[in-house]
Every structure is written in structure tokens, then in C-alpha cells.
Structure 1
Amino acid sequence: MSGNEKISELDKVLTQFNVFGRYHCLFMFWSFLALASNAVFCSNFVFSAEEVSYRCKDEGFGNDTCTNMANSTAECSEWTYEDPNSFVAEFGLACQDWKRTLVGTMHSFGYMVGLLLVGPMSDRLGRKLSIVITGMLGGVFGVARSFTSNYWLFIALEFLEGAIGDSCSPMFILTIEIVSSRNRLLFYILCSFGYPFGGVLVSLSAWKFTYWRTFLRVIYMPALLFFAYLFLIDESPRWLLIKGKKDKAIKIIEKAAEKNKIKIDKTLLEKMECEKEKSVNFFRLLKMTFESKIILKRFLICLVWWTTSTFVAYGLSINSVSLRGNKYVNYALTSLMDVPANFIILLSQNYFKRKAPLITSFLVGAFLCLAHPFLPANLSWLSLIMYMASKLMSSFYFTITYMFTSELFPTYTRNSMHALCSSLGRIGSIIAPQTPLLMHYWSGLPSLVFGSVSLIAGLITFLVPDTADNSLPDTVKQAEEIGKKGDLKKPAPDFVIDKDKDCSRL
């Protein structure tokens, strides 16, 4: 039996499940909440460490300036802050704006480093346990930050939270591994509505709890309940098969079948196999993967996708609070752009698969960002529409990048490679919190940079094959066969909806 045939047996089993059955609806809800926590954790610094106006008590200094107008060498000895209870005021960050933006940069840097740890941990310990560990640690570090009075301790805790306190990576992998290849896209998109929910939740929480310490406690305390995921979700059957734990995988599938009130052929379950993981360490597995020139090329392209996606998506969200109007509403609206994006992605990829929509969204997003700075100043409504449309495009290609990357690499190192691409690509989100500082030189400079990198990413996407109809590859050899003539493909659509079954709104 070939590798492709073996993995098809698992797909045959998973295809019998309707993703709107009870078992998958429950998992969808728990995944929804976990992905919402990612949006909350990654973006709360926009409000907790927001910009605050200040002035020197010495009238010789101008408002919001850091230099005495009469004597450029004079230093202010005491500052008055617009909000004395703000993060900037409590840590005395007047004229040190880089320390304020460093909060977001350090979180992204921690996330970048942490993915190199969380990815292998998920491949070794399992998706489920990794979700519990990282989710709870995120809550611990977040609450601890709300009590600290030392700036550098705050920064250290921010780094640790980003590094080992976010369950997004293992939850994503688990989400796509518990369904068949034909339903991967639909199921993940439905779960990923957690991202805009988290964005709206963090903006409304900041609006309600204006004191930054209270705000942090309110959004991080619920994360301690991730412990309950030990009992609420199951491990990935695909991961269990790779680890040689076939009996456990079968029990999970039978449990799911019972909840969905369907019967699975016992013979089919016994045939279900995945090639077992070889007894080599993580670095050897990576070496085996990178020895393939085809996989290496795809890895480099994925890095460009991830860097562009994180840079533009986070950059546009962060800069949205500088738009005219209520900053909380603006941020919530920007987050909600993910909702129509998800619906459009479902429709477009059912007809056009992965590659064409990814190229289109990159190029259209590039055009919108490049054109935005040159709009007439008196057309503020048009500027807002263009800005939101740019965010919509970034939502398109960020979501497709998540899915596309996971389908290009073998099961042995899928989570590790996905995490590695995501980790190194976080260079974009590390730089993104600094983009508001570019507005001191020219207000349109951030958009111009966003557009340029989107254009480059769109052009290099022509170099990869489409993966929409392929089963997830288990080995490097299977991964190399993607896009070649004669590889195993499925004529079925990306998703099938049973109109007789549905689940309640999340």
C-alpha cells in the first residue's frame, strides 16, 4: 500500500462525518474561543499601551514637545499627562515613545521565538496538551503583567506570553487534522470567526474598562480556564496514527461517530493507517525536509507570505486607531473585516482553489494600499472605504496563507514547519507596531510600504502549485508530488454542506 493510499483510508473515514454534526459543532465552538483568545492576546497592547498626550509643567516647553523652545539642551523635570492613570504616565514614558511601541514589538518577537518551541512541542506532546499548556500560561503571564510596576519586568512578561502563552498554532493544526481534506477549508473558516470576535471583544473591553491594569485582568483571567480543554476536546487521530497509537485514534473516531449518530465500517477503521514517525530527532526531521529543493523553495515562498501577511494585517489594525472617529469603533470595524473575508474565501476557493485567490488578494491589496496616500484630503469617506478594503484583502491572504502553508509540508513536520514559517514570518508583526512612527515623516508612508510588500508577495505566488484537492501528505516524497501530473487528487469540492443538518450560531 502506498503512502497516498494509506492516507486516503483515513480521509475516507473522516469524509463520512458531517462537519455540522454535534461532535464537530462542539469542537468548532471550543476552537472558536481559542482562536478568539489569540486575537485578544496579540492586539491588546493597542489599548493597554496606547498613546497619551503630555506636556511639561515648565511653560517654556511647548505642548507635546520634548525640547525647550528657548534652550534645546534643557530637559523637563516633571511632566503632566492627559491621563495620569495611563500606561505611559505610570511608567513615565514621556518623550520615550519607542518604549510604548516596544510592547507590541516584544510580544511579536516572543511569538516568533515561541513558535519554534510550540511547534515541535505540539508534534511531540500532541496538539491537545500543547493547547492546554500554552493557553493557561498566556493567562498567567497576562494577569502578572497587570500587577507589575517595573517597565522592564512588564516587557519580559510580554515576551514570555508571546513565546509560550498562545495556543493558536496547535489549535490550528488540530482543527485541520480532525476533518477530511474536502472539508478542511470550510471547517477552519468557521472556526476562524473567532479572530474577528476576539478583535471586537478586546476593543469593547478597552472601551468599558479604561484603566489598563483592570483591562488586562478582565481579558486574561478567562484564559486560566484552558485547563478544561483536557476534558472538552480530543487529540488529533492523524497525530495518534503517526505516533503508532491506532487504538486511541479509533476510539476517538468511534466516539465522534456516536455523537454524530452515524456508523463507521469497522473494516475501514482497521485499514486506516499513516506511515509511522521515524525514530529521529527534530533537527534530523527538519534536515530530511530541507534536503528537498522543492520543499526548500516552498518554505522560502511561505516566509514571504507570512512576513507580508503579519506586517500588513497587524499594521493596518494598529494604525486604525489613528483614523478619524471613535478609536474603539474603528478598531472593531477593522476586525470585523474578517467576517465578509471569510465568506468570500469560502466561495472563491470552492471555485478557484488556493492559488488564484491568494495571488488576487495580494495584488488587489497592493493596489489599494499604494493608492490610499494619494486620495484627495477632502474625501475622508473614500479614504476610510479604501482603508477597510485594504484590511479586507489582508484578511483574505492571511487566512489563505494559514491554510496553504499547512498543505505544502508532510505530517512528520507539518506543525513544526508551519510554526517555523509563522515564526520567522513574525518579523512582519515585530516591525508593524513601529509603523505609526513613520507618520512623523509622511502620513502616507505606512500605506506605501504595505502596498510594496504585498505586490512582491503576489508575484512570487506564481511559483507554487495549488493544493486544494490533495490529501495531506505524510512524507517528503508525497509532498513533492503535489502539483505534478499523476498525483492523487480528489474531484470532490472543497466542502460539502448537508442542508438537513446544522448547528446553532457560535
Structure 2
Amino acid sequence: MDVEKKQNADVSVDDILQVLGPFGRFNIFNFILILFPVFLAGMYSSVYNFEAMDLDYRCSIPECENETSLNYTIPHIDGKPSKCLRYPRFDNYTLDLNDTCLPNHYDPSNVITCESFLYLESHSIVKEFNLGCQDWKRTLVGTVHNAGFFIAIPLTGVMSDKFGRKIAIIFACIANGVFGVIRALSVNYDMFIIFEFLEPAFGGGVYTACFVLALELVGPKGRVFTSLLFNTMFILGGEMVTLLSWWLQNWRYLVFIIYTPAVFVFVYMWTLTESFRWYFSKGRYEEGLNVLSKAEKMNNVTVPKDHYDQVEKQAMKQRDTRKCESKENNQSSFQQLFTSTVIWKRLAVCSLLWISSTLVYYGLSINAIDLSGNGYLNYAVVILIEAPANICKLLLLDRFGRKRVISLSFFSTAVILIAYGFISAGSWSIAVYLAGKFFITLAYNSLYVFAAEVFPTNYRTTLLAMCSTIGRTGSTIAPLTPLLTKLYEHLPTILFGSSAAVSGFLVLTLPETNNLKLPDSLKEATEQDKKFDESDR
């Protein structure tokens, strides 16, 4: 009898989830709904590369536009007419209507900047907003897009923890749709750049909100597979927007097509299930238990009633403990959270890892467009290499632990990308480039699982959002890295490799979370750290 009571006392939410099964009908239904915004987020994270894709254009010579004249009116660089420079006409030469444009009319010993451009392609904003030879305006699009996440992720995180995961997802998706469609109607560059910022500023946190909700619906054994599903859908989104851009060859059609579906996510108000863990953290035990009971019915399994009673008692006990701790310290739970050295340490380390990950991950994708060959194909292949990386994550994380896999992935990325600068252009250099993308994808996507597991439930989304927000510093800088090639061709990959090397060491300062229950309180997170310190002695 005493053994039975002890067993009942030890029952947790994860025990109920084990009975329900990680992927029964309940989870499959909700995961289908959750993964749709993730697919859209995959498209939105890549679309700016094609909106502001560089075009084939050259300096326009209004008084002398014919193919033969290009040899003496425009200087050639690597066998191609210059995009930004032309030869000036001699001052004493005036063109009459009947005159023929001749070589002796131009001064090849001098060059001047172009006043106008002849665009040979028209599928990006470069032609429509006349951005010829203004690379800073073109790369600014990606920087502004990623800068929007500094607002979106904390906004969505606070909304998710205060009003629920479901509300945060719906709000972010609708914001994406509305601001994205308006951007497709931009009449000038200024309007375009404003809505390029507003769209991610209000909708960019959708991936994090979806990920947290999905993670809280499964037990420890389902977390890595859940992450794999998310990464796969994100990859498919990136591939889809690449193929659509290649096919449509029109940035306005592209933006309108991919953002319109997001508006219809408002139906999730009546279809998507809220996180029972969030209900428990807010003291809404009956609603949380109703979610578990609904899952039980949909999955056609039976959970012992005393399991629910024990879970409710534990949830109430944890909530009372947090209140007592707050009163004893004369602090709110939020204030207490941020006076904890454990939380500060984890937040700082995870944020630095995020900065490095986003810088290298997005930097390699963006620079892939400028590799030799078809830009669309290069980008598609660089994204596709993420698929085997995610499969490896599924096979390795549970078997070898989070820390070991992530650290070795960072170190491998560093070695490969630094070595890339010493390999001559060709098939081997592309293979090495792809290998770098493979390992940074493995590290970055594993980091999502790891970071979510080290923060307590009641502020998990907020803290994860803070990491992701600070980490967006890397993705904000990434669109500017192609400009570094003007200083030295391999400077971007050297920067990426050095950043990855530092991250490999930082990972080792965090506790291992493999197969451990998610910490539901600050106390449990602190105990996690104590065990980690003791194991290091």
C-alpha cells in the first residue's frame, strides 16, 4: 500500500503523456494545425532573398544604345560590361540626331558613375525601385527584415506566457498575412522597407510560439521528433518559396501568394488546443485537465483517475511554492526569476549561442546565392542539405546527449568553414560549403530543443524568446556579410568559422538535459544546475 502511494505521489504530467502516447490522434490533429504556420514561417524567412535579389543590368548610355558600342562606351570587368561605370564623352563632342556613335567620341582613359541603368531582368525590387549600384539598399532589406524580430519575439513570448500559446500563434500569423499583403502593394522603396520591418515585427515570433506549444504537448521521448517535424516543415517552406520565385519571376506575385494564407489562421480560435502546461502554470487546473481528458478520448486510451488528481495536487503545490518563495524574498515571481544567477547564466550562454548560430546559418544561405551558377538552384541545395542534418539530430540527440552533439557540430562547422578559404573554386569547394551548412544546421536546430529544456515552464516562452531575440543580432548582420567579399573573398566564411569555434566551448557550460523532465519552476531549474556542478567534480 505504501509503495502504491509513493508511486501515485510520483506521478507527473509526463507519466500521463506516456500513457496517452506521443503521437496519437490528439497530437496528430494539433500538430497538423501547428505545422502549417511553421511551413509559412519557412517561406517568410527566405523571401527577402528573392525580393531584393541582385539583377543582371548595366550602365545605360542613352545616346549610344547598341551592342557594338558597349566595347567603347562601358569598361568591362571579367569580360562583362560594368554595372556602375561608363566612359565619358569628350567635352567638345555634341551628338546630332543624324550622327553615328563612334569610338572616338568617348574617353577610355577616364570613367564616371552611371546616371541610369538598363535592366536585363525584372523579377526583384532592384528594377522596380531603381536600386542599380545601390547594394546597401538591397542588402538593407534582409537586415531590416531580421531587425523586426527584436520586437516580434519578445512580444510573442510575453503574449504566449500571459494569454496562452494559441492566442500568440493566431495573432502572429494574422499579422504576417496582413502586413505581407500590404507589402506586395508597395508603391516605392520607402513603403516597401517599412512593411518589410512591420511584418516580422508583429508576426516573426510565430515559430517560437508554435514550437513551445508542440513541445508542451509531448513527453521527453517525443521532443526530438517534434523538433524534426518543425525543421522539416521549415525546410519545405524555404524550398517552396525558392521554387515559386524561380517560376513566377515576379516579386509582387510571390509575396501576395505566400502571405495570403496566413490571414485564414483565425479559424484556429475554434480548432487548436491550448497547452495544458500553460493552464497549470496559471492555476487553471480544470481547463488543463480537460485538455488531457480530451486527449485521452481522442487517443482511445484510459488514464487512471488518480493520475489526474496527483498532477493537479502537484501543480497546485508548485504554484503555492512559487508564491511562498516570492513572499519570502519580497519579490514577484518575475523579479525572482531575474535575480537568479542560474537563469542569468543560462540566458547569457543560450543568447550567445543563438547569435553565432543565426549569423552562420543565415549567412551561409544568403551568400549561397552569390556562388557560381544558378542562384535559385544554389539556394535550394543549401536549404535541402538541412534535411539530412535534421535526421542526424533525431538519431544523435537522445543517444549521445544534447551537449556533446551541439558542441561537436559547432567545432566541425568552424574547421570546415575556415578550411573553405584554402580550397580553390569548383565542385570540392561547393561540397565543403554544404558540409558547413550541414553542421551549423545540426547545431542550430538542436539548440532549439536544448534551450527549451533548460528554462522553467511558467516563463519558458519568454526566456526562449529573449534568447531568440538577442540571437537575431546574428541574422540581422548576416545579410550584410556579402559586402565583406569586397575586402577579401573568403572573409565571410572565416568570420562564420571563428564564431562557431567560440560557441563550441560555450555549450559545455550548460547542464545536460537528455531524458530529464522539463523544469516547471525556478527551484527545479536550480536543482538541475546543482546536479550538473556535482557531476563535474
| TM-score when normalising by structure 1 | 0.90
- The match for 2:178 is 140
How far residue 84 of structure 1 moved from its aligned partner, in angstroms, is 3.9
Closer/same/farther in 2, CA of residues 340 and 7 from structure 1, 3 Å limit: farther
Which runs of structure 2 are paired with 1:311-350 in the superposition (5 Å)?
311-350=359-398
Partner amino acid for 1:247? Answer: E
- The match for 1:468 is 514
- The match for 2:437 is 391
Out of 439, 456, 480, the position equivalent to 1:410 is 456
Out of 103, 112, 116, the position equivalent to 2:154 is 116
Q: 447-456 or 323-332, which moves further after superposition?
A: 323-332
Which runs of structure 2 are paired with 1:248-397 in the superposition (5 Å)?
248-273=287-312, 274=315, 275-276=318-319, 285-377=333-425, 380-397=426-443
Out of 1, 7, 21, the position equivalent to 2:24 is 21
How far residue 485 of structure 1 moved from its aligned partner, in angstroms, is 3.3
SS at match of 1:238: helix
Aligned-partner Cα distance in 1 for 2:148–2:37: 19
Aligned-partner Cα distance in 1 for 2:271–2:332: 34
| CA contact 1:285–1:413 (8 Å) conserved in 2 | no
SS at match of 1:374: coil
Q: Percent identity?
A: 35
How far residue 262 of structure 1 moved from its aligned partner, in angstroms, is 0.6
How far residue 287 of structure 1 moved from its aligned partner, in angstroms, is 3.4
Aligned-partner Cα distance in 2 for 1:91–1:134: 29
Of the two, which has the highest radius of gyration?
2
| CA contact 2:368–2:375 (8 Å) conserved in 1 | yes
SS at match of 2:475: helix
- The match for 1:42 is 45
Q: 67-76 or 50-59, which moves further after superposition?
A: 67-76
How far residue 182 of structure 1 moved from its aligned partner, in angstroms, is 2.9
Aligned-partner Cα distance in 1 for 2:110–2:222: 64
How far residue 480 of structure 1 moved from its aligned partner, in angstroms, is 1.3
How far residue 85 of structure 1 moved from its aligned partner, in angstroms, is 5.3
Aligned-partner Cα distance in 1 for 2:520–2:110: 65
Aligned-partner Cα distance in 2 for 1:292–1:116: 20
SS at match of 1:80: strand
CA RMSD of aligned residues (A): 2.3
Partner amino acid for 2:401? Answer: K
| 1:129-151 deviation line (CA, Å, top 9, x unaligned) | 11011001101111110101121
Aligned-partner Cα distance in 1 for 2:226–2:10: 19
Closer/same/farther in 2, CA of residues 103 and 6 from structure 1, 3 Å limit: farther
| 1:167-220 deviation line (CA, Å, top 9, x unaligned) | 111101101111112322222322331111111111111111111101111111
Q: 430-439 or 65-74, which moves further after superposition?
A: 65-74
SS at match of 1:468: coil
| CA contact 1:28–1:190 (8 Å) conserved in 2 | no
Q: 283-292 or 442-451, which moves further after superposition?
A: 283-292
Aligned-partner Cα distance in 2 for 1:412–1:10: 15
- The match for 1:444 is 490
Aligned-partner Cα distance in 1 for 2:161–2:50: 35
How far residue 226 of structure 1 moved from its aligned partner, in angstroms, is 1.2
Closer/same/farther in 2, CA of residues 376 and 399 from structure 1, 3 Å limit: same
Which runs of structure 2 are paired with 1:419-498 in the superposition (5 Å)?
419-485=465-531
How far residue 403 of structure 1 moved from its aligned partner, in angstroms, is 1.1
How far residue 29 of structure 1 moved from its aligned partner, in angstroms, is 2.2
- Matched length: 480
Is residue 251 of structure 2 the alignment partner of residue 233 of structure 1? no
- The match for 2:229 is 190
Closer/same/farther in 2, CA of residues 315 and 284 from structure 1, 3 Å limit: farther
| 1:363-390 deviation line (CA, Å, top 9, x unaligned) | 001111111111133xx11111111111
| CA contact 1:199–1:331 (8 Å) conserved in 2 | no
Alignment gaps of 5+ in structure 1: 490-506
SS at match of 2:530: coil
Which runs of structure 2 are paired with 1:44-63 in the superposition (5 Å)?
44-58=47-61, 60-62=73-75, 63=81
- The match for 1:33 is 36
Which runs of structure 2 are paired with 1:65-80 in the superposition (5 Å)?
65-69=83-87, 74-80=112-118
Aligned-partner Cα distance in 2 for 1:108–1:196: 18
Aligned-partner Cα distance in 2 for 1:126–1:115: 15
Partner amino acid for 2:251? Answer: W
Out of 122, 134, 137, the position equivalent to 1:96 is 134
